């Protein structure tokens, strides 16, 4: 069984206590801001957004699971802008999302994007021990009854660290 923290954060930039020491964007709301030496553009944001989606797709493929169920849903769509440039280029709008909803394919991609963009928060659970949990600031935790070799390398721009989900 694997339990992984899958993030855009390079583990070599953590201190001895595991704290991330590099200043990076942590939210879709950072687009247009200067964070550290980087002007966070829509393109930079979407590169990370796409990498997280690809990470979930690879987990499901390696685990031979085609869909996940939404649990502990919190709808936050009233608190963020849906008309952003990000949404225009890579939509996450899905319409009604509800507790217990089973999502797959592009609908699953949209749920991952909605969660990363802080439009919703949820846990995703599937067969074969598969789970995807989301934390704050672009932390994502994935697990399955497979081994690391089956999962393969993380997508470009992502890093895997063995760690149990604090949301399990």
Phi, psi dihedral angles at 134 (to 5 degrees): -115, 140
pLDDT at residue 168, as a whole number = 83
Token pair 């932390």 in the structure block, residue: 139
Phi, psi dihedral angles at 163 (to 5 degrees): -170, 135
- pTM metric for this prediction: 0.93
pLDDT at residue 14, as a whole number = 94
Interstrand relation of 131-134 and 159-162 (parallel, antiparallel or unpaired): unpaired
8 Å CB contact between 8 and 24? yes
pLDDT at residue 52, as a whole number = 98
Cα–Cα dist 123/15, whole Å: 29
Assigned token pair, 45: 């944001």
- Cα 33 to Cα 7, 28, 50, 90, 154: the distances in Å are 21, 10, 20, 20, 27
* Domain regions of the chain by residue span: 2-162
Mean pLDDT by 10 residues, the chain (168 residues): 96 93 91 93 95 98 98 80 73 88 97 92 97 95 95 96 93
pLDDT at residue 155, as a whole number = 97
Helix, coil or strand: residue 25: coil
pLDDT at residue 76, as a whole number = 82
Cα–Cα dist 138/22, whole Å: 14
pLDDT at residue 92, as a whole number = 81
pLDDT at residue 83, as a whole number = 59
């Amino acid at each position: 069984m694997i339990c992984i923290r899958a993030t855009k954060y390079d583990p070599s930039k953590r201190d001895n206590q595991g704290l991330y020491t590099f200043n990076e964007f942590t939210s879709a709301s950072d687009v247009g801001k200067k964070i550290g030496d980087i002007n966070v553009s829509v393109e930079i944001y979407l590169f990370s957004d796409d990498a997280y989606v690809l990470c979930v797709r690879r987990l499901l493929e390696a685990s031979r699971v085609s869909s996940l169920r939404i649990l502990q849903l919190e709808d936050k769509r009233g608190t963020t802008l849906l008309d952003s440039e990000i949404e225009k280029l890579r939509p996450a709008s899905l319409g009604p999302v509800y507790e217990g909803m089973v999502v797959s394919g592009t609908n699953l991609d949209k749920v991952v994007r909605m969660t990363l963009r802080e439009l919703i928060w949820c846990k995703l659970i599937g067969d074969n021990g598969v789970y995807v949990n989301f934390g704050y600031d672009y932390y994502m935790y994935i697990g399955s009854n497979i081994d690391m070799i089956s999962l393969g390398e993380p997508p470009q721009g992502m890093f895997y660290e063995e760690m149990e989900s604090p949301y399990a």
